[in-house]
Amino acid sequence: MFPIQLPELTHIGRRRELITAAILYALGGLITASAPELDVLLVGRLLYGLGIGLAMHGAPLYIAETCPSQIRGTLISLKELLIVLGILLGYFVGSFEINDVGGWRYMYGLSAPIASLMGLGMWTLPPSPRWLLLRAVQGKGSLQEYKEKAIHALSKLRGRPAGDKVSDMQIEHTLASLKSAYTDQESEGSFLEVFQGPSLKAFIIAGGLVLSQQITGQPSVLYFAGSILQTAGFSAASDATRVSVLIGFFKLLMTGIAVLKVDDIGRRPLLIGGVGGLALSLLLLSAYYKFLGGFPVVAVAALLLYVGCYQISFGPISWLMVSEIFPLRTRGRGISLAVLTNFGSNAVVTFAFSPLEELLGAENLFLLFGIIALLSLLFVIVYVPETKGLSLEEIESKILK
């Protein structure tokens, strides 16, 4: 069951959107884990998909709108790090339960308490100051009232006392930027507006990154890592699954490197180096299936190279760029469409992998993914800008104009 993206919920705010996502996660996990029949299982997966859709939209928005620009890359990349940690825990539990009937239920059941922690954590955080000011500028309430709430929220997020002068200055600067974007106090731009002017440029960058993230084979390589490892000599399913746990640890390690370096060396260097490595790893997988079948170390090395390069490039950087590249007026709508693009292409690649493998053979399929990766590298070099250290307002005025 793939994530379902709801219409953009501007009126409830980023914080309440994430609390709702946590509730759906918990319900979906519990229902799936205890499902007595297929119909109930599908209901649980549906709720889980709704939760993922909301979280993938709300989380990067909330982080981008609340954190200082100097550490925005680090904090948004931490989201990817925690996603990878969750995948690793799934691999770990699966490696112990693979031979047990109904062992998969434990993986879904364990998600419920983690979702509860997410909900409680968001409950203690304030609303996004930018969202509060946005509501005021749109004419949804008293400007002074929303301004005071925004100052209080920013002071809490920065660990400063209410009325702190630095918080007041930041709120005034953001308010001036919002007023220039919403001169007529209309609601946020429509979905159609995402495909016009500066928003279109932003969507080409963001949509291109999340599309490339999938069509370079990411779901196929990860979802079918077990079978690839089995062809490399790990004949038992349990052996391949345990090697997948090791790959998960490596995935976590490389994501940690991206988190530490993204605000230091920037987005573009990580993307260019990582996507170049992706292309090389896919060409190695193709060569393994074509004429290096007697060297299983090539398959394992190619998988590790793929995972490592993905986790320092498309993994965290795509969602970071999605959260910061759209103009204020269309940010919520643009991120919604980017999430839809990501998961839609994920579904297409996942469902098409097996038929394409039968039609082309594994060696030619991975060769195709490698060629796509090279085209993605060209896209990054030509179209993707550097946003390191820029505020959201500076990105809009300097890059999108």
Burial of 80 (0-12, 13-18, 19+ CB in 10 A): buried
**pLDDT tens, 80-128?**
888 888 877 777 776 666 566 666 787 788 888 888 999 999 998 888 8
H helix or E strand, kind and range, residue 2: none
**pLDDT tens, 151-206?**
778 777 777 666 566 556 666 666 565 555 554 444 566 778 888 888 899 999 99
- The reported pLDDT for the residue numbered 203 is 93
Question: End-to-end alpha-carbon separation of the chain, Å?
Answer: 39
Residue 219 to residue 44: CA distance in whole angstroms: 22
Give the chain's mean pLDDT. Answer: 80
Q: How confident is the model at residue 298 (pLDDT cuts 50, 70, 90)?
A: confident
Percentage of the chain with pLDDT > 70? 78
Burial 191-224 (b: 16+ CB within 10 A, else e): eebbeeebbbbbbebbbbbbbbbbbbbbbbbbeb
- The reported pLDDT for the residue numbered 189 is 61
* Superfamily covering domain 10-126+189-398: MFS general substrate transporter like domains (1.20.1250.20)
Residue with tokens 């932003």: 202
**φ, ψ (nearest 5 deg) of residue 384:** -85, 120
Bigger pLDDT: 26 vs 292: 26
Min mean pLDDT across 131-135, 224-228, 336-340 is at 224-228
How many CA within 13 A on the CB side of residue 67?
22
In the predicted model, what is the mean pLDDT of residues 289-316? 85
**pLDDT tens, 10-58?**
567 788 889 999 999 899 989 988 888 888 889 988 898 888 888 887 8
Q: Which ranges in the chain are annotated with CATH 1.20.1250.20?
A: 10-126+189-398
Q: How confident is the model at residue 71 (pLDDT cuts 50, 70, 90)?
A: confident
* Other beta carbons less than 10 A from residue 327's beta carbon: 23
Residue with tokens 């209080």: 152
For residue 263, pLDDT over 80 is answered with yes
How far is CA 339 from each of CA 5, 345, 350, rounded to the nearest angstrom?
A: 7, 10, 16
In the predicted model, what is the mean pLDDT of residues 65-69? 80
pTM, full prediction: 0.77
Residue 249 to residue 87: CA distance in whole angstroms: 10
* Other beta carbons less than 10 A from residue 16's beta carbon: 16
- The reported pLDDT for the residue numbered 276 is 95
**pLDDT tens, 352-397?**
878 888 888 878 988 999 999 999 999 999 999 998 888 877 888 8
Angle between helices 314-325 and 331-360 (to 10 degrees): 150
Q: Return the SS3 of 43.
A: helix
* Other beta carbons less than 10 A from residue 120's beta carbon: 11
Which two structure tokens, joined as six digits, stand for 232?
């490399």
